[in-house]
Structure 1
């Protein structure tokens, strides 16, 4: 590997504010990069990241996909899908796919749209509003609440607890006090007990009642702890990333009015617009892996036991894979991106995120075909695991 002076770390706010020049240098100068300060490696080229995502035997998920957890000394909790590899992961994912069905998600589209309308209608006739506070930070948890059957009165406190789990101080890694707390689901414990006595047609009731064969060959139902793990993973992942997606849709389209006009005039482009936004500004700019064995690339050996970051944000703009990758183009021939991962750890909630983004954008365009951004008040969220806006006021005409 050739010597390069490029520096990258996911906590440097100067880089986080605009990571793309650094990503470009990494791809060209240090496609396999090592950060001495935080002791992690990083891959940035699309082909390398794509191959790594499919190679779980080397790039293991067994210590989660969060860098701070991969590097911590804490044992990972058992039975958490995002912290397992096959065969346990396969069993858990198959179980989850039986309750997290496309049919169930499609059934809530009308509810999602009604909620969007209730959030946006009060701002018709105003000069603008904070789309994060008024929609993006609320809607994903409402949707997860619809799926899980969580009462509206409990949803805001649940969202805030999930956000606190992932929050970091600007310029600093997440402080890991106990790895089990990341996915223990304790904030749902009272609700799970209530729902077990009051079954309904929701995902939570499905989790409580489903029977499956576990890795020991025993046919059984999920334990309460397992139900809480599942609930935390679904609610946490779906809430944080989808909220950021809505913010990016508003900002990127404001900065590309020609593309916004195309979508406003042809709503068949809505889903493509969501995917091009996910490519262009991925809500999760990277995932971490624990190296289960030595890995060789570019003349360098990454030793077993190392932490590796797979840089989606860099891979999604690799000119080896995309034509004019720094151009936002909803008619791009191949929008396919890595933001949801690939292979056996592909995001289970990808279609739900697309649905929420599509409906939110559709309703936004129904009211305001044009808008601008108030850059003076815009503020990125302080977290190293996802990238998006904490405050984003749009100015409507």
Structure 2
């Protein structure tokens, strides 16, 4: 247990990854952990944590020492549950690489950019009815709608059914321990339909693609694998972008001068999205299972431990983002952050998330150049896996 120099109970350094309120603003704790306990140990929940950028980055890349096959969330790692096949984010090479390669051609820069007109059209469809309104909710009016629609377009799910899929993903993230792994049955009827009616979408691709699995067998994905695949794509692809849009609403309300710069010069928006991603990552930590004894800062982390890579702490490390990572600055020199991970599990949907974030801000700022958050009605999301806002209502100023 680490305590401060004053050695008082009130100054005890403690981080609880299950504390939703703390996770909404953990940065004072993270700053202390980075400096006072760069290898942090939590006795209550029995996990270690890394917080400095270099430590986090190197550990995430080292997929042999820090494996994903026991889960990438602390509660799953500690549960010891069996991970269903096809759960891409909870797999290790070589099987992870095989499954990842099946999807990588779907998220090529060309295919992602080709979606821009449709994403912009749908964003405008969400925002145009609100142009005379004095209020706008970043999450309920756009953040929940647009990513769901984009994933629906990619997967080939009819628009009228997309809400059901998104609700399933939200329930998955809010459930506990073993229940975190949904069965994917919500997609079963769409798989059956696409089997009979192929189309130009991910689901049809995945139904028909042949690949060589880890045993050397050339085959197609089994039904259970495919159901799990689709659950991972739909949940990861919509929830994180929903949270990004919510954090953009809060952050730019907190920094109105920088928001005004974006209104005056929309070419600054891509780098503003990058800074928001660094500043408020939807996933604060990456969990890994430790396969061998490893040493950090003069201490040994034993084999079999759970390790959290504190993305939110690494993203504000002044060693990586000088002179002060705890300053929000849309003009900051661009350096890669940890929001999309690194190495073999680097987020395949990063280009899509950046595109959605850029379009969202371009279209919002075009219509609403200024806003203030309605804090009385803003609601944090009750999930710790991907943190953010369930509602981010604002009082807006019109263009």
TM-score by length of 1: 0.95
Structure 1: any 5+ residue segments left out of the alignment? 168-173
Which is further off, 292-301 or 147-156?
292-301
Cα offset, 1:200, TM superposition: 0.8
Tell me which of 88, 107, 112 is aligned to 1:81: 88
1:7 match: 14
Give the aligned length: 389
Cα offset, 1:213, TM superposition: 1.5
Q: Secondary structure of the residue that 1:11 maps to in structure 2?
A: coil
1:156 aligns with 2:156: no
> After superposition, what is the alpha-carbon deviation per residue over 1:289-326, rounded to whole angstroms, capped at 9, x for unaligned?
01111111122111111111110100000111112211
Q: Which runs of 4+ in 1 moved over 6 A?
A: none
Cα offset, 1:96, TM superposition: 1.2
Contact 1:144 1:239 in 2 (8 A): yes
1:61 match: 68
Tell me which of 110, 118, 121 is aligned to 1:114: 121
2:237 match: 238
Matches within 5 A, 1:94-173: 94-167=101-174
Structure 1: distance between partners of 2:222 and 2:249:
41
Alpha-carbon RMSD = 1.5
1:177 match: 178
Cα offset, 1:334, TM superposition: 2.4
Q: Secondary structure of the residue that 2:136 maps to in structure 1?
A: strand
Structure 2: distance between partners of 1:3 and 1:369:
45
Matches within 5 A, 1:179-328: 181-182=181-182, 184-323=183-322, 324-328=324-328
Cα offset, 1:344, TM superposition: 0.7
1:391 aligns with 2:382: no
Structure 2: distance between partners of 1:286 and 1:231:
23
Contact 2:373 2:392 in 1 (8 A): yes
Structure 2: distance between partners of 1:115 and 1:79:
31
Cα offset, 1:109, TM superposition: 1.2
Structure 2: distance between partners of 1:86 and 1:139:
33
Q: Secondary structure of the residue that 2:139 maps to in structure 1?
A: helix
Contact 2:262 2:269 in 1 (8 A): yes
Structure 2: distance between partners of 1:100 and 1:223:
22
Structure 2: distance between partners of 1:376 and 1:229:
38
Contact 1:279 1:335 in 2 (8 A): no
Structure 2: distance between partners of 1:79 and 1:144:
18
Contact 1:145 1:152 in 2 (8 A): yes
Contact 1:211 1:220 in 2 (8 A): yes
Q: Secondary structure of the residue that 2:232 maps to in structure 1?
A: helix
Q: Secondary structure of the residue that 2:177 maps to in structure 1?
A: coil
Contact 2:370 2:396 in 1 (8 A): yes
Contact 2:86 2:226 in 1 (8 A): no
Structure 2: distance between partners of 1:344 and 1:139:
28
Structure 2: distance between partners of 1:291 and 1:378:
38
> After superposition, what is the alpha-carbon deviation per residue over 1:190-231, rounded to whole angstroms, capped at 9, x for unaligned?
111101111111111111111211112222222222221211
TM-score by length of 2: 0.94
Structure 2: distance between partners of 1:366 and 1:189:
40
Contact 1:41 1:306 in 2 (8 A): yes
Structure 1: distance between partners of 2:20 and 2:169:
22
Q: Secondary structure of the residue that 1:309 maps to in structure 2?
A: strand
2:376 match: 376
Cα offset, 1:3, TM superposition: 5.5
Contact 1:275 1:335 in 2 (8 A): no
Structure 2: distance between partners of 1:13 and 1:149:
34
